[in-house]
């Protein structure tokens, strides 16, 4: 049996639209066994347990590239990452399938090749790269080549995910974005990405609030999240260092000091008292990325 664990991811980080992502301590786990024939998928909803399952279709794509064809496959899924919440659930399924297929075929692929295949399926590397490599990763695609680099984050912070009880598809979240932006807004975001990376790397966490500001996607996607402005304001009133929309949303991510034991309790109390049926999870950076175990 082959076992693969893939971390959740939080992409964009405010101004780093489609380029930044980090891995967090929330996981989907997949097990793979080659069988004599057919397809068996356990651990997911019935409507996902078929040949259209993203883990399985990612395996097939990888098998085609490698030139390997199994007789049959059994997939066991143990998933803790909520679907369509902006926490990279689809990236975990894709990577789980690609890594599982590679292992069944005696591991002919390098990590960079796995990145390339998985990104080709996902469409962009901002969730795939941190899920594969762990930590904070910047990535871009140029002429179909993926360029990426891990970025140091100084010790001392943790992340609090505010996860709504409703979903938001990436396609819907992209439809609300403007087709063009002003030169001023472009400069605004470029400056904040630079400030954000230096703040993370040097431990200048006092700069996170300003550096997480954005004009490319959050003002538009925030309108799709009921209570967005009020909840973000409350996060700052409770002392968080920074807050942003995780991925395409609707999850909101707050950054606090590791020693802060009150924020999670107080923001949960606020959400409950205002009838927001949201889950609150305290998470830490995952520095390992996807692993076989």
pLDDT of residue 45: 81
Mode of pairing for the β-strands spanning 72-79 and 20-35: antiparallel
Query: Over the stretch 226-241, which tens digit does the pLDDT of each residue have?
Result: 999 999 999 999 999 9
Q: Whole-model pTM?
A: 0.95
Choice between 93 and 50, residue whose per-residue pLDDT is larger: 93
pLDDT of residue 16: 97
One-character DSSP codes across 175-224: HTS-S---HHHHHHHHHHHHHHHHHHHHT-GGGHHHHT--SSSHHHHGGG
CA dist 129 and 115 (Å) reads 7
Confidence tier at 78 by pLDDT (50, 70, 90): very high
What's the mean pLDDT in 152-157? 96
The binding site consists of 82-92
Query: Over the stretch 258-281, which tens digit does the pLDDT of each residue have?
Result: 999 999 999 999 999 999 999 999
pLDDT of residue 102: 98
Query: Over the stretch 28-62, which tens digit does the pLDDT of each residue have?
Result: 999 999 999 999 999 988 778 889 999 999 999 99
Residues in the chain: 293
pLDDT of residue 46: 78
With a cut of 90, say whether residue 169 has pLDDT above it: no
pLDDT of residue 293: 87
The binding site for ATP consists of 82-92
Domains observed in the chain: 2-151 (3.30.230.10), 157-283 (3.30.70.890)
Per-residue CA distances from 58 to 29, 97, 124, 206 (Å): 15, 5, 15, 41
Residue 141: CA count within 13 A, CB half-sphere: 13
CA dist 85 and 195 (Å) reads 27
pLDDT of residue 170: 83
DSSP bridge pairs for 30: 4, 77
Across 133-147, b (16+ Cβ under 10 Å) vs e yields bbbbbbbebeeeebe
pLDDT of residue 90: 97
pLDDT of residue 227: 94
163 phi and psi, to 5 degrees?
Answer: -110, 110
With a cut of 90, say whether residue 168 has pLDDT above it: no
């Amino acid at each position: 049996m082959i076992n693969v664990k893939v971390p959740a991811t939080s992409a964009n980080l405010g101004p780093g639209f489609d380029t930044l992502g980090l891995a967090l301590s929330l996981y989907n786990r997949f097990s793979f066994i080659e069988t004599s024939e057919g397809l068996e998928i356990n651990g997911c909803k019935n409507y996902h347990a078929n040949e259209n399952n993203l883990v399985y279709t990612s395996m097939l794509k990888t098998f085609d590239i490698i030139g390997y064809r199994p007789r049959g496959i059994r997939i066991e899924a143990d998933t803790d990452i909520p679907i369509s919440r902006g926490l990279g659930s689809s990236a975990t399924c894709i990577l789980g399938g690609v890594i599982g297929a590679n292992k069944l075929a005696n591991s002919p692929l390098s990590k960079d090749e796995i990145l390339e295949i998985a990104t080709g399926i996902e469409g962009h590397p901002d969730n795939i790269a941190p899920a594969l490599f762990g930590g904070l990763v910047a990535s871009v695609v140029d002429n179909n080549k993926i360029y990426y680099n891990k970025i140091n984050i100084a010790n001392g912070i943790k992340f609090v995910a505010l996860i709504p009880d409703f979903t938001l598809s990436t396609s819907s979240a992209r439809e609300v974005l403007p087709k063009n932006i002003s030169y001023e807004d472009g400069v605004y975001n470029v400056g904040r990405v630079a400030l954000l990376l230096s703040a993370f790397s040097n431990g200048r966490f006092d700069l996170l609030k300003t550096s997480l500001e954005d004009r490319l996607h959050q003002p538009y996607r925030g309108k799709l999240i009921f209570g967005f402005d009020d909840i973000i304001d409350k996060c700052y009133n409770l002392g968080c260092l920074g807050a942003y929309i995780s991925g395409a949303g609707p999850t909101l991510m707050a950054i606090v000091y590791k020693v802060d034991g009150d924020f999670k309790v107080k923001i949960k109390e606020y959400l409950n008292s205002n009838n927001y049926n949201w889950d609150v999870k305290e998470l830490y950076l995952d520095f390992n990325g996807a692993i076989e175990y």
